[in-house]
Amino acid sequence: MVYQYDASAGLILTSLRIGHTVTPHVLKRVEFWLCFCLHLAIIYGFHTGVVPKDSADGGILYIPWKDMKIISAMTTFFEVFYTNECYARYMDLYKTMNQMFAAGFDFCFQLRLYARAAGMEYVLLPTRWLDASFLLFFWQLKGNEVTTTEFDKLHRAGLLRKQERDFLENHSIEQVHLILLQWCAEVATSGTAEAKTPNNVNKSLISELVTCHNLQLELMDTLELPVPFQYFHLLCLMISINLILWAYGMGTTDSYFAPVVFYFAALIFVGMMELASQLSNPFGEDEVDFPIDEWLTQFFSDQLALVQHQYPTGSANVKDNWKATLDAEATFTWDARHFYRGSTGQLQHSGSSSTIGNSGPISQHMPAPQGGYAPMGPVLSCMSGNEIAISPLSSPGPSPRAAMERVHLLEMGSASPESQKWIL
């Protein structure tokens, strides 16, 4: 899971952190310690006479620092470029993941809206198959082979019935994704036909499923096309040569700080390669990898809250449910005095005339509409520029129905605030 850090912690305090960094991974790499041991051996040989002293002052074994700067500058440029490409790939994968989850959620939202009148079975069945498709896809994305074990897990979880499991197991994983999404489309269109919805509804529902499949293909294609190995090979060769030259050049000096400088220089160079390798494939168990399990759990929870929830009146019939609510709306009012901002930008509440901006208080009253509706709290009046004034009107408090809706949303502990907005 990506570590949530404090960006204001300070440079020194952050740089001294060991946990949630690439440092432990670098210290486990053999090549890092080989280069460092080579550097210590050269230092020992230089001070004991094994390495000639003229290697530091123009002798036959002397390597000028201006020559080492060339390979160091080239290595730095190509490594930064490689890391930047891996990070861009990382962000593209993240964006595609979000779009896929959004398309799945859009499908469920529209399915409940249009097919619910035909019966909840037309909503719940495609939702179950969509969840099974998502789970199989992410198992595959993590590099795991989808075998009988994975299908058994879906069967035990109730996402696949036995006959469905036996049928899908005989197909390749790519075919399974297509079949499940095709089943979703067929049942969804049957539900909308039963509910007698307009024909363009089916196009919108199928478009969301097609979007899910296309995004799945995009994720797989992106993972299967990393930075070309030839580039990666040359970069590894440049880093190895650079570290060996540094080990020799810093080892043939009389400075006591040479081992310290080489240690941190090697740590940074090898650490950037380690970080780039983790960013190139964020579907694993590294610190920077996507928390797929948490995302799927949240997606399924919000999805079920959206699909299965009932309006607090408790009526299963859609028309009767909203008819009772609409009839009760004739006596319902809301008071926006609790939610306007004053000149300081803070939420305020006042029982007297208040303004936003620099103008004086403005009172504007709307005539009560016919049909018995009470005035809807304060009236907002827009003046020139950005000045807005609010004049509260006398109105009764929120109706018991509003309190019932509030309690219903608060009791939906399985639904996130985002999914509650969808429900509203």
- DSSP one-letter string for 209-257: HHHHHHHHHHHHHHHTS-S-HHHHHHHHHHHHHHHHHHHHHHHTS--TT
Give pLDDT, residue 379: 36
| Count of structural domains, the chain | 2
| Residues 295 and 417 placed together within one structural domain of the fold | no
Domain boundary among the residues 308, 340, 361 is at: 308
Per-residue CA distances from 70 to 67, 135, 270 (Å): 6, 50, 19
325 within domain boundaries: no
The torsion region of residue 122 among left (phi > 0), alpha (psi -120 to 50) and beta comes to alpha
Q: What is the dihedral of CA 346, 351, 357, 359, to 10 degrees?
A: -170
Give pLDDT, residue 101: 93
Q: CA-to-CA distance for 275 and 23, rounded, in angstroms?
A: 10
For 256-367, strand residue ranges (E) read: 340-341, 347-348, 354-356
| Residues 353 and 271 placed together within one structural domain of the fold | no
Name the pTM for this structure: 0.74
27 within domain boundaries: yes
242 within domain boundaries: yes
| Residues 245 and 346 placed together within one structural domain of the fold | no
174, two tokens: 């790519």
| Residues 255 and 171 placed together within one structural domain of the fold | yes
Walk along the chain (424 residues) and give the pLDDT tens digit of each residue.
667 777 788 888 888 888 888 899 999 999 999 999 999 999 998 888 887 776 666 667 777 788 888 889 999 999 999 999 999 999 999 999 999 999 999 999 999 989 888 888 999 999 999 999 999 998 888 877 788 888 888 899 889 999 999 999 888 888 999 999 999 999 999 999 998 888 888 899 999 999 999 999 999 999 888 889 999 999 999 999 999 999 988 888 888 899 999 999 999 999 999 999 989 888 888 888 888 888 988 899 888 888 887 766 655 566 666 676 777 666 666 665 655 555 444 544 444 433 333 334 433 333 444 443 333 333 333 333 444 443 444 444 444 555 556 655 555 555 566 666 655 5
365, two tokens: 């009253």
| Residues 293 and 337 placed together within one structural domain of the fold | no
| Residues 301 and 373 placed together within one structural domain of the fold | no
| Residues 253 and 346 placed together within one structural domain of the fold | no
Give pLDDT, residue 84: 93
157 within domain boundaries: yes
| Residues 367 and 409 placed together within one structural domain of the fold | yes
> 376 is in which domain, residue-wise?
330-423
175 within domain boundaries: yes
323 within domain boundaries: no
319 within domain boundaries: no
315 within domain boundaries: no
Give pLDDT, residue 38: 93
Give pLDDT, residue 319: 63
What b-and-e string marks burial along 338-359, b requiring 16 or more CB atoms within 10 Å of the CB? Answer: eebeeeeeeebeeeeebbbeee
